[in-house]
Structure 1
Amino acid sequence: MEVSIIEQNVHPFPPIYDSKSKVLILGTFPSVKSREGEFYYHHPQNRFWKVLSEICRDSLPDTIEEKKQLLLRNGIAVWDVIKSCEITGSADSSIKNVTVNDLEDILSYAEIRQIYANGSKAYQLYMKYIYPEIKREIIKLPSTSPANASYSLEKLIEFWSCILI
């Protein structure tokens, strides 16, 4: 009988924010492609960067540095709810044994006016683990993941446009 060993995956990169960040977008945990590319929403089919560049009326970023600058120029902070977990591939549905990130550094340094969840799982995990501690409301947005095929790019842009403060 073959036994598969499940490893605890640790979030591999820091949050993106500065003192001018007004909005915090939280995902769940980096996908396999994001972990390989060492940056948020790195899967070529994830529509996160297309949505943000459209609602910010900015050019579509290509490099990690361009992506960071798009976020910071527009007062957007990005991080994930999960610090470490067991996960099979990139499937949010497989997430187990969660430890969460501490949002205190971001919330005390930046004047975050609103927190948004990129998808239902990020929202559920935030409400279960983080909300009871910090009591900051979060707004659930439809996931930009390619797995969320029920939302067209146009529909995502429509829903996500609320993040601009």
Structure 2
Amino acid sequence: MTAGSTTHVTHEFGPIWDARSRVLILGSIPSPSSREAGFYYMFPHNRFWPVLAALFDQPVPGPDPAVRARFALNHCIALWDVIQECDIHGASDASITNVVPTDIAGLLDRVPIGTIFTTGRKAGQLYRRYCLPILQEKGYRSTMINLPSTSPANAAMSLADLIKAYQPIRKALDDKEPKSDRQDNHNDYDK
């Protein structure tokens, strides 16, 4: 890829989930580092894993994808992305065009997710534009909460700020009953 060029990207790894998953965390599309590693949030300076570790008062899981998958699943977290295919320049979500969404409804057919979280403004926008109409048409009523990006490009937020902003994940997991009977789209980080 030359400077200034756009690449057609296809998501080459599926969702991480099991029958215990209660929340789904969606990014936009894997970064080049994540695509290379074949797993989610693998850019070394992305703060996603330190934030999740802090939420559960656990050590940050090592860089091995299997360790990170176990960490997420042990905390009832499913991981995926909004986009199955798109055109993108590098890792710039702002450059995303020609979107084909992932089959989130197909995942929800298999696991009772109560709350869906999107990480970053663009992931939230893409979810509402491409995925939410399909989910509503199929009768899914999961709560959606948009969280700030953990990317180093979001330098305005410190690690402590991100940990605080991600507390709704912990709250959703601590709730006794999943809230899958209503659609509540919070856009706290779309401003």
TM-score with structure 2 setting the length? 0.81
Report the counterpart of residue 83 of structure 1 in structure 2: 84
Q: Deviations over 1:40-59 (max 9, x none)?
A: 11101000000001102222
Provide the C-alpha distance between the structure 1 equivalents of 2:5 and 2:121, rounded to a whole number of angstroms: 28
Counterparts in 2 of 1:105-144, with a 5 A limit? 105-135=106-136, 136=141, 137-144=143-150
Q: Is this contact kept in 1: 2:7–2:89, CA < 8 A?
A: no
Q: Displacement of 1:6 after TM fit? A: 4.4
Provide the C-alpha distance between the structure 2 equivalents of 1:44 and 1:157, rounded to a whole number of angstroms: 18
State whether structure 2 residue 153 is matched by structure 1 residue 152.
no
Q: What stretches of structure 1 of length at least 5 have no aligned partner?
A: none
Provide the C-alpha distance between the structure 2 equivalents of 1:127 and 1:151, rounded to a whole number of angstroms: 24
Q: What stretches of structure 2 of length at least 5 have no aligned partner?
A: 174-191
What is the number of residues matched between the two proteins?
A: 162
Letter paired with 2:156: S
Q: Is this contact kept in 1: 2:10–2:85, CA < 8 A?
A: yes
Letter paired with 1:129: Y
Provide the C-alpha distance between the structure 1 equivalents of 2:37 and 2:100, rounded to a whole number of angstroms: 23
Letter paired with 2:27: G
Report the counterpart of residue 92 of structure 1 in structure 2: 93
Q: Do the aligned partners of residues 58 and 97 (structure 1) sit closer, same or farther apart at CA in structure 2, a change above 3 Å counting?
A: same
Percent of matched pairs sharing the same residue: 43
Letter paired with 1:127: R
State whether structure 2 residue 110 is matched by structure 1 residue 104.
no
Q: Is this contact kept in 1: 2:6–2:90, CA < 8 A?
A: no
Provide the C-alpha distance between the structure 1 equivalents of 2:155 and 2:7, rounded to a whole number of angstroms: 29
Q: Displacement of 1:105 after TM fit? A: 2.8
Higher relative contact order (CA 8 A, sep 6+): 1
Q: Do the aligned partners of residues 130 and 24 (structure 1) sit closer, same or farther apart at CA in structure 2, a change above 3 Å counting?
A: same
Q: Displacement of 1:7 after TM fit? A: 4.0
Q: Is this contact kept in 2: 1:58–1:70, CA < 8 A?
A: no
DSSP-derived class of the 1:8 partner: strand
Q: Deviations over 1:52-96 (max 9, x none)?
A: 011022221111111001100000001000000000100001101
TM-score with structure 1 setting the length? 0.94
Report the counterpart of residue 22 of structure 2 in structure 1: 22
Letter paired with 1:50: P
